[in-house]
Amino acid sequence: MRDLGRTISRFVKWEQTEVLLMIVGVKIALFALSIIVALLMAEAQGEETVMQFLLIIWDRWDSAWYHGLADTGYAATGYAANRIVFLPLYPILIRIVKEITGSFISASMSVSNIFSIVGLYLFYRLTRLELGRQVAWYALVAFLLFPSAYFFNAAYTEGVFLCLAVGAFYCARKGWWWGAGVLGSLAAFTKILGLFLFPALLLEFFLQRKDNHQKRFQVVWLSLIPGSFLVYLLYNYQLFGDWLAFMNVVGGNWQKSFSWPWVGLAERWRVMGSFPFSKSGVMTGLAEWLAGMGLLVGLVVSFFRLRTSYFVYLLGISFIILSTTKLESTPRYVLTAFPIFMLLGKVGKYRWLAVPLTLLSVGCMALFMGYFNQSWGAY
């Protein structure tokens, strides 16, 4: 028995090492590819070192908003008032790590990559718990090579949110409700989408309580999730005298407002145009529309193939992502819908389908990442 225990221990440790090597290896490959693609698309400017050039090409778009928040915080007037649409946890982490790294971009990149490594590892563990080792491995590959997965390398919130949201679900499935509440509250302090962890994990609590006789008082931990979002709303009220000021900013600066999901999808379909598609038709039409439809298909399939708590989570975030007059950054937002990648893991056993889909995904990622690195858009 003792020898069997050692064998199992070595197996588990090797499996964990294998997963981490896979995650880190893909990240390093993406960083190397980003330099090559960036150099092919445009010449390097100035006398940057390789590391400086790497940081520059990953410091794009929303990264500047997070750095501004980390530097001077929220503001009630001027253009900086638009920062209110970004939640505070990620900038807080950047501000803390900046004391070590010395710059905001290196701090934000460090935070994003460390959290995304942990988040992807936890995703593997959670999928393994639900669907077994083989599906978990295929699901991890699908996640790592998804066309917008390069955002896990960038100075964006996707890696932090994934870590906290998946961690909250993992704790809940293990019955560690204090962990689910704390991590869920931090996720809701990172992205508004984190608020939908509350109904999903609340349902999970009652599903487990029926089977395992969970102690009723433990559900109180989950109240931390809406509690942290209330703190964010308090920021809104203190600055603007309006608990929902962020919604006005989204409508003003980003020209987006609430609408039924089919409105935004129909608008992106019109932008797509007819075949052969233009560059704009692909980037702002086809890709956005496919990502939105992918959310809907994943939502329907999850109802039949995944635990109900995952479906409830997907239902909430899909409604918020798609319920807008203008779909933007939908391929990136799909990264928050991690249960969909659990479903993709089941496709792995069908090699005739998985292999061409993977090759197509990698090709799209290289294209999108190149656009992103050159500040040409791409979600």
Of the candidates 33, 55, 53, 28, the residue with the CA atom closest to the CA atom of residue 43? 53
pLDDT tens-digit series, residues 194-230: 999 999 999 999 888 766 666 778 889 999 999 999 9
- Buried b / exposed e over 50-74, threshold 16 CB at 10 Å, is eeebbbbbbbbebbeebbbbbeeeb
The secondary structure of residue 377, as a DSSP letter, is: -
Q: For residue 211, what pLDDT is reported?
A: 63
**Whether 332 contacts 151, CB under 8 Å:** yes
Q: For residue 6, what pLDDT is reported?
A: 60
CA–CA dist 220, 242 (Å, integer)? 28
pLDDT tens-digit series, residues 323-348: 988 888 899 999 999 999 999 999 98
Q: DSSP letters of 201-220?
A: HHHHHHHHHHHH---GGGGG
The secondary structure of residue 12, as a DSSP letter, is: H
Q: For residue 348, what pLDDT is reported?
A: 87
Q: DSSP letters of 85-124?
A: GS-SHHHHHHHHHHHHHSSHHHHHHHHHHHHHHHHHHHHH
Strand partners for 324: 258
Domain regions of the chain by residue span: 59-360
Q: CB 253: neighbour CB atoms within 10 A?
A: 13
pTM: 0.93
Highest mean pLDDT among 5-14, 72-81, 93-102: 93-102
Higher pLDDT, 285 or 335: 335
pLDDT tens-digit series, residues 117-160: 999 999 999 999 999 999 999 999 999 999 999 999 999 999 99
Confidence of residue 4 (pLDDT cuts 50, 70, 90): low
Q: For residue 279, what pLDDT is reported?
A: 76
**Whether 371 contacts 147, CB under 8 Å:** no
- The residue-averaged pLDDT of 165-191 equals 96
Of the candidates 355, 292, 303, the residue with the CA atom closest to the CA atom of residue 328? 292
**What's the residue count for the chain?**
379
